[in-house]
Amino acid sequence: MRKALGAAGLLVGAGLAIAIASPHFMTAFNLENLLRRSSLFGILGIGATFVIVTGGIDLSIGSIVCLVGVLTPWLLVEQGVDPWIGVLGLLGVSLLLGTLHGVLITRLRLQPFLVTLCGLLVYRGLARGITGDQTQGFVGGFRGLRQLGNGRIPIPGIEGFTIPVPFLVLVVVAIGAALLLGRTVWGRYLLAIGRNETAVRYSGIDADRVKILAYTLCGFLSGLGGLLFTLDVGSAQPVDFGNFYELYAIAAAVIGGCSLRGGEGTILGVLLGAAVMQVLQNGITLIDAIPNNVEFAVIGTVILIGVVTDESVRRVIARRRPEGRGSIP
């Protein structure tokens, strides 16, 4: 919870600084866009969180985003597949890819880094191969379906600001994820595995199944994210669609309080982390004094400062209180 507070502080601080530096920040149009982008990355971040709390990592998120993002318009427009079948089929594929990662990691005892690194390479290669590297788009069609990504819902009584549909999707996903992590047996197991997998096994718990669940959820949420991204933008280039998105998702989880050693993390924190990432990116675009091409450097520096501060605070607290790390109620 403390780390989520830190992320909230960072979000407010960065927001205020950018609002002062640029008059365009606090406009309804910009905030709406920010909310949409944060929601999309929040979905990916939640997926990454499930894997990270078990002490694992998923590097394939961006490539699954690309695979689903590129193949959705390819199936629907080029191949003329029924939208229901196409969309549900691709979501199913992304889910199964996650399961495959989990099975390889638990049954063959391969390292998560390695398995998902291969996933990163394979899925992007597949997406590029299948489409012949051609940009795929909806060419103005499928307006109903695309509402899922770019739709806006007016708030009664408020003019000018509308709620982006991906935000509603995120709310549903986040509530589900928070309940899973906080209120179910699976959530207890996920967190305990991140702290000591051996002790979990020795407690008579099928740790492998729990880990497979984590990778499956991550795969599915990557696919869902990819779908919403492509519906929002309207077209996708196989070469760079979803590039680095796994790193954004992991960074969001870490800013939001996940420990890469596992055993720690909250859904609220990850959502705030995803928002921090988007606000920083937005600020760099809006503030003229900062050239756009230093974007990565700025984001990297801010995250680094954040985790260093957090670690220092943690040490001071640990010296005062010999209590359990993040006690679960």
By CB under 8 A, which span of 106-114, 185-193, 224-232, 266-274 interacts with another protein? 185-193
Contact 48, 249 (CB under 8 A): yes
Query: Is 189 an interacting residue with respect to another protein (CB under 8 A)?
Result: yes
Q: Contacting another protein (CB under 8 A), which of 3, 37, 195, 211?
A: 195
Q: In terms of CB distance, is 23 or 329 closer to another protein?
A: 329
Least distance in angstroms from the C-beta of 326 to another protein: 9
CA–CA separation, 243 vs 226, rounded Å? Answer: 11
Query: Is 2 an interacting residue with respect to another protein (CB under 8 A)?
Result: no
Query: Is 204 an interacting residue with respect to another protein (CB under 8 A)?
Result: yes
Least distance in angstroms from the C-beta of 192 to another protein: 6
Least distance in angstroms from the C-beta of 321 to another protein: 8
Q: Is 235 helix (H, G, I), strand (E, B) or coil?
A: strand
CA–CA separation, 165 vs 255, rounded Å? Answer: 25
Query: Is 215 an interacting residue with respect to another protein (CB under 8 A)?
Result: no
CA–CA separation, 48 vs 41, rounded Å? Answer: 10
CA neighbours within 13 Å on the CB side: how many for 151? 15
CA–CA separation, 38 vs 278, rounded Å? Answer: 6
Restricted to residues 306-325, the positions that interact with another protein (CB under 8 A) are 319-325
Amino acid type, 319: R
Restricted to residues 240-279, the positions that interact with another protein (CB under 8 A) are 263
Query: Is 185 an interacting residue with respect to another protein (CB under 8 A)?
Result: yes
Q: Is 289 helix (H, G, I), strand (E, B) or coil?
A: coil
Count of C-beta atoms within a 10 Å radius of residue 50: 29
Q: In terms of CB distance, is 24 or 188 closer to another protein?
A: 188
CA–CA separation, 260 vs 16, rounded Å? Answer: 29
By CB under 8 A, which span of 61-69, 114-122, 124-132, 178-186 interacts with another protein? 178-186
Query: Is 199 an interacting residue with respect to another protein (CB under 8 A)?
Result: yes
Q: Contacting another protein (CB under 8 A), which of 24, 103, 188, 243?
A: 188
Least distance in angstroms from the C-beta of 194 to another protein: 9
Q: In terms of CB distance, is 184 or 301 closer to another protein?
A: 184
Query: Is 108 an interacting residue with respect to another protein (CB under 8 A)?
Result: no
Contact 142, 233 (CB under 8 A): no
Count of C-beta atoms within a 10 Å radius of residue 227: 25
Tokens of 241: 């669609």
CA–CA separation, 169 vs 271, rounded Å? Answer: 13
Least distance in angstroms from the C-beta of 202 to another protein: 5
Sites of contact with another protein (CB under 8 A): 183-189, 192, 195-196, 198-206, 263, 319-325, 327-329
